[in-house]
Amino acid sequence: MPVKVAIVGSGPSGFYTAAALMERSDDVEIDFIERLPTPFGLIRGGVAPDHQTTKKVSRAYEKTALSGPVRFWGNVEIGRDLSLDELRAMYDAVVLAIGSPRDRPLGVPGDDRQGVYGSADFVGWYNGHPDFTDLAPDLNTNNVVVVGNGNVAIDIARVLVKTDAEMADTDIADHAAKAIRAAPLTDVWMIGRRGPVEAKFTNVELREMGKLEEASAIVDPAQLPVTVEGNMSDRDKRLKERNLTTLREFTAQDAAGKPKRVHFAFYTRPVEVLGGARVEGLHCERTKVDAAGRSVGTGAFFDIPCGLLVAAIGYRSDPIDGVPFDMAGGIVVHRDGRIAPGLYAVGWIKRGPSGVIGSNKPDGNQAAAQVLEDSPRGARPGRAALEKLLVVRGVKWVDYPAWQRIDAAEMAAARPGAPRRKFVRVANMLALGQTGAE
């Protein structure tokens, strides 16, 4: 009897787990339980719409999804359609691969004013994630502040200032493309508490900011150190030096010819979001980095006017019923991925929101090895029991062929040159792809 494994969540960590299980055993049955009708997690809903090459990793996931032992149960949410305890009772092993979908709050006075968003919501909005279709951010402003000095902050700044022509071959959601096109945006301020050496951007993403059609990258040369100092590996030092070189090149570019600017504002700490009901600016303190690498205030304050503020300062997960949770870390409590007998964690719900897509692969390998080591062989009913329960509850699910119909319809509806036009409402996806209980 095959070992019955349910993987909750169909992002990278879930797919790497399924692939690793099949590499290790011919006797597994794997069911993906995914709350959206669409697979691939943040590859579809997080990775920037103008980074289509990165999204191609989903082709490898598709091969896994189409393998004999694997089934996809989309539009089925643990906590809404069935509980985790119910799932655990049906499967020999359950692997949580549900990511970190919530924003860490900015945590300064005024961060609840209208026009202040977290990056999960804002990125979800422009990427057509159905949870954020109705976000409707008001972009009727010249100035935007993006808090954060990582690749997500860069993605947001870049998507906001790229021209229609630069976005033509992307799958940005129609509503977002329209709103950004109509917006009078001229200046995006990317602020970070620490300096260019501490910033987390990778060089490929940073360099893109120097090649934008209508926007210049603005860097204050006084904020660039001459050399990279600090306790770090040679590799890290090389990467930081590369970023410094790129930032220096930005200082040499002529900003006058372009109508938009992206300002790299280092050594800047948000103190308070200013305004009335809506955000009108950000009150900031100039910082410096102390010997221990911490950002400390200098007592010099200044304001940046803005009508939209996006905080890209990290993610957390919600606690899950029946699972021990580390509230401070925003992840499940586990030991090398093991949470409880027959229950495992992989990806961002296990490690927190860090690393690149490939960083989730070792988690999948580890969980697969643990599942096969721990599982009582085929003791539970698995998918037959799941299907029965979903039918009894009247839950409509989306299987992989149904997702392929959604996928094909999206590609067929694409503008010339674009990869797809995304459905942004679950009801529209279900109208095309719904299967299951009648």
Name the site residues for ligand FAD (rule: CB under 6 A): 8-14, 33-36, 41-42, 46-47, 51, 54, 77-79, 97-99, 123, 152, 155, 347-348, 355-357, 360
* Of residues 189 and 397, the one with the C-beta less far from ligand FAD: 397
* Of residues 126 and 250, the one with the C-beta less far from ligand FAD: 126
**In the complex, what is the shortest distance from the CB of residue 177 to ligand FAD, in angstroms, rounded to a whole number?**
17
* Of residues 98 and 304, the one with the C-beta less far from ligand FAD: 98
Rounded to whole angstroms, the Cα distance separating 346 from 342 reads 13
**In the complex, what is the shortest distance from the CB of residue 359 to ligand FAD, in angstroms, rounded to a whole number?**
6
308-311/295-305 β-pairing: unpaired
What tokens appear for 252 in the block? Answer: 């040499």
**In the complex, what is the shortest distance from the CB of residue 271 to ligand FAD, in angstroms, rounded to a whole number?**
26
Are 41 and 99 a contacting pair, CB within 8 Å? yes
Rounded to whole angstroms, the Cα distance separating 83 from 365 reads 26
CA-based torsion, 64, 69, 75, 81: positive or negative: negative
**In the complex, what is the shortest distance from the CB of residue 36 to ligand FAD, in angstroms, rounded to a whole number?**
5
**In the complex, what is the shortest distance from the CB of residue 435 to ligand FAD, in angstroms, rounded to a whole number?**
17
Write the burial class of residue 340 (CB in 10 Å: 0-12 exposed, 13-18 middle, 19+ buried): middle
Rounded to whole angstroms, the Cα distance separating 339 from 366 reads 13
**In the complex, what is the shortest distance from the CB of residue 403 to ligand FAD, in angstroms, rounded to a whole number?**
12
Rounded to whole angstroms, the Cα distance separating 229 from 345 reads 37
Are 287 and 266 a contacting pair, CB within 8 Å? no
Residue corresponding to tokens 């102390």 = 290
* Of residues 78 and 197, the one with the C-beta less far from ligand FAD: 78
* Of residues 267 and 348, the one with the C-beta less far from ligand FAD: 348
Instruction: Report residue 263 CA to chain centroid gap.
Output: 23
**C-alpha distances in Å from residue 105, one per residue of 45, 120, 310:** 20, 11, 11
Rounded to whole angstroms, the Cα distance separating 315 from 227 reads 32
3-state DSSP call for residue 5?
strand
**In the complex, what is the shortest distance from the CB of residue 233 to ligand FAD, in angstroms, rounded to a whole number?**
20
* Of residues 121 and 187, the one with the C-beta less far from ligand FAD: 121
* Of residues 51 and 405, the one with the C-beta less far from ligand FAD: 51
